[in-house]
Chain A
Amino acid sequence: MVSAVTEVFTPLGPVLEARALTKRYGALTVNDAVSFSLAPGEALGVLGPNGAGKTTLLKMLAGSTAPSAGQVLYDGRDMSGLTEPARCRQGIVRTSQVPQPFEQISVWENVLTAAYHGGGHHGDAAEEVAYTALKRTGLLERHDEMAGALSLMGRKRLELSRALACEPKVLLLDEIAGGLTDFEVHDLVVLIQDIRTSGVSIIWIEHVVHALVAVVDRLIALDFGQLIAEGTPDEVMEGEAFKRAYFGQDAILEGAR
């Protein structure tokens, strides 16, 4: 009846916490008092139909959109006063749903920019970080290509490489598997698992559910801007509120017959 809420007990406090995050555009409420927390090293998936407010939620966490109400806490500190670049340097890094490559510079320069600015490194150290990031995402071969010449998969890898070069503690992924072939999705899942194993906490919005559940420990589901379910992947996806949001009221009734 009511979706189960699993408590994650860890000796440390949450690395990231959303407290009643709300976003309104005039009469439209995109996010309505959404609260959840992310434990250190945890991978949290976000599900929800189109327009549920997932991207806006991620943007509020990253600081690219200011909430109408509510707070974002990072390591227990209120992030309200910090801009997106400042949060990025502190370790909250977001990849965009539509990749945002710097098209007229090379792949190498794209990642180097992130290592300098988001990673806060200088000189050789920045180059080291950029190199490692490209190596991890498998883009190293294409370091000399203009970013604008990359395919969709290339752009997504670049988006991820840049995020890694910022040395995130919390990585916010917005539909990074969308539009890719199954084969490409598989590679991406391996990569994200690897990033997670290295100790980065992850929040991942994704419609490609099999990719998501292959990585995350826990799911939250949003509908019409509200948190409707939270728990393990099985708990959430078997929950009634979730099914209703995705398949409508009738689907439940038919299933009951």
Chain B
Amino acid sequence: MAESQIVTPRPYARTSSAALPLFALAVILAALITLPFWATGYTQRSVLEFLYFLALAQAWNLMAGYAGMMSIGQQAFVGIGAYGLVVMAEDLGINPFLTVPLAAILAVILAVPVSWLLFRLKGAYFAVATWVIAETVRLTVNANIDWLGGGRGRTVRSLGQFDRHLREDLGYWVALALAIIAVFGVFFLLRSKTGLALQAIRDTENGARSVGVETRRTKRIVYLFAAAIAGATGALIYIVQINVRPDAAFSINWAAYVIFIVVIGGIGTIEGPILGTLVFFFLRDMLADLEAWSMLIFGLIAIMMMLFAPKGLWGLLNTHRPVLLFRTARRLPERFAAHKEGE
């Protein structure tokens, strides 16, 4: 790794060292895909949880870190996905695992009108409105819709048709697929023309508009993508947990934990949320005995990170030795570089 000593103007992994992260990625993916065959049930359940938090974190990071939309209301779509599972599996007789993509579609359909309301607001107003909308949905489901079981919620009985191991394994693979879609979806989106638009919006929205970027449409794409991921995650979580209660399904913790993950990992990068999710699970295990105090400690850590390391742990790690797993940056194509030197 001697070549990484060379100071480059931008934090790129050079072509020669790009093979290593790629190899690491392949090994990790292979290990994850085969995990149900060699890991304990406890490990499998922990990794499953890791995967759906990772999916939520990637989606939130794209929305907040790139498009500047600080939503604290993604639990609305987690809950919608959860109740989507209940209604589709229990009342419509759809295979519970098939409800995961359908829940994503349901979340998108509901997110469209919500975005009309929200996109009139900016900054803190936007953030508060996302929360208010999520609370409104929670309270409505909690108190007013008997069909959904009110405050007690409902149980997904149709999951009984599956053997417990089969259910857990299928759930695990669905979670893995979801995490892969989230990570690589964000990666390919960022490498596209829309990704450039997003980064432009992040840096200056007025500047972006002045070069022809349709800022609203771009933000809407991201908002709907995040809603889809949250909706699918909601259905998945309750395939594992079986009992859907409004207070849990629409809990603000879905937003709070995810914000914590992204902030400590490093907002505005793909690697940050991955690292953040790992750290979050490690801390949560360590602090499990402290119960309510653990939330205070999480909050304190997040505040310290924001003040002293706004680029998160990934930012701290990445200042001296730039190694990127996901290179989203676009560079001047080789054909032009050759031109230039010819002059």
What is the interface of chain A, defined by CB distance below 8 A to chain B?
62, 64, 83-85, 88-89, 93-96, 100-106, 108-110, 112-114, 116-120, 122, 126-127, 131, 140, 143-147, 162-163, 165-166
Q: Check B333 for interface membership: any CB of A closer than 8 A.
A: yes
CB-CB under 8 A from A85, the residues of chain B are: 209, 212-215
Q: 1/0 contact trace for B161-201 toward A, CB 8 Å?
A: 00000000000000000000000000000000100110110
A-B contact sample (13 more), CB < 8 A, given A102-B200, A146-B10? A85-B209, A94-B210, A100-B204, A101-B204, A113-B197, A113-B211, A116-B197, A117-B211, A119-B212, A120-B212, A126-B193, A145-B9, A162-B210
The reply to whether B331 and A165 contact each other, CB–CB distance below 8 Å, is: no
The reply to whether A105 and B329 contact each other, CB–CB distance below 8 Å, is: yes
The reply to whether B203 and A113 contact each other, CB–CB distance below 8 Å, is: no
The reply to whether B202 and A104 contact each other, CB–CB distance below 8 Å, is: yes
The reply to whether B212 and A112 contact each other, CB–CB distance below 8 Å, is: no
CB-CB under 8 A from B214, the residues of chain A are: 83, 85, 117
Partner of B196, one of A100, A101, A112, A146: A112
CA distance A29 to B221 in the complex (A): 38
A-B contact pairs, 20 of them (CB 8 A): A64-B210, A85-B213, A89-B212, A95-B210, A100-B210, A102-B200, A102-B204, A102-B208, A103-B204, A105-B199, A105-B203, A106-B331, A109-B199, A109-B330, A117-B193, A117-B213, A122-B193, A127-B333, A146-B10, A163-B211
Tally of A-B Cβ pairs under 8 angstroms: 111
The reply to whether A113 and B196 contact each other, CB–CB distance below 8 Å, is: yes
Number of contact residues on B: which range applies?
A: 20 to 34
CA distance A73 to B293 in the complex (A): 64
CB-CB under 8 A from B204, the residues of chain A are: 100-103
CA distance A140 to B336 in the complex (A): 10
The reply to whether A64 and B206 contact each other, CB–CB distance below 8 Å, is: yes
Q: Check B340 for interface membership: any CB of A closer than 8 A.
A: yes
The reply to whether A144 and B196 contact each other, CB–CB distance below 8 Å, is: no
CA distance A93 to B200 in the complex (A): 17
> A148 → chain B, closest Cβ, in Å?
8
The reply to whether A109 and B196 contact each other, CB–CB distance below 8 Å, is: yes
The reply to whether B210 and A88 contact each other, CB–CB distance below 8 Å, is: yes
CB-CB under 8 A from B10, the residues of chain A are: 106, 144-146
CB-CB under 8 A from B330, the residues of chain A are: 106, 108-109, 112
Q: Check B288 for interface membership: any CB of A closer than 8 A.
A: no
CB-CB under 8 A from A62, the residues of chain B are: 210
CB-CB under 8 A from B329, the residues of chain A are: 105-106, 109
Partner of B209, one of A64, A108, A163, A165: A64
CB-CB under 8 A from B211, the residues of chain A are: 88, 93, 113-114, 117-118, 162-163, 165-166
- A-B pairs, 4 with minimum CB distance: A100-B207, A118-B212, A114-B211, A88-B212
CB-CB under 8 A from B206, the residues of chain A are: 64, 96, 100
Of chain B, the residue at the smallest CB distance from A117 is B212
The reply to whether A113 and B200 contact each other, CB–CB distance below 8 Å, is: yes
Q: Check B332 for interface membership: any CB of A closer than 8 A.
A: yes
The reply to whether B199 and A131 contact each other, CB–CB distance below 8 Å, is: no
Given contacts A116-B193, A117-B193, contact A84 B203 (CB under 8 A): no
CA distance A189 to B67 in the complex (A): 36
Given contacts A102-B204, A105-B199, A105-B203, contact A144 B210 (CB under 8 A): no
> B214 → chain A, closest Cβ, in Å?
5
Partner of A105, one of B193, B200, B210: B200
CA distance A144 to B197 in the complex (A): 18
CB-CB under 8 A from A93, the residues of chain B are: 210-211
Interface residue ranges of B1-38 to A (CB < 8 Å) = 9-10
CA distance A84 to B216 in the complex (A): 12
The reply to whether B210 and A96 contact each other, CB–CB distance below 8 Å, is: yes
Of chain A, the residue at the smallest CB distance from B217 is A85
> B289 → chain A, closest Cβ, in Å?
41
Interface residue ranges of B320-339 to A (CB < 8 Å) = 329-333, 336
CB-CB under 8 A from B212, the residues of chain A are: 85, 88-89, 114, 117-120, 166
CB-CB under 8 A from A140, the residues of chain B are: 340
The reply to whether B336 and A131 contact each other, CB–CB distance below 8 Å, is: yes
> A125 → chain B, closest Cβ, in Å?
12
Interface residue ranges of B286-343 to A (CB < 8 Å) = 329-333, 336, 340
Interface core residue of B204, B206, B210, B331 (most chain A CB under 10 Å): B210
> A96 → chain B, closest Cβ, in Å?
6
Of chain A, the residue at the smallest CB distance from B330 is A109
> A217 → chain B, closest Cβ, in Å?
25
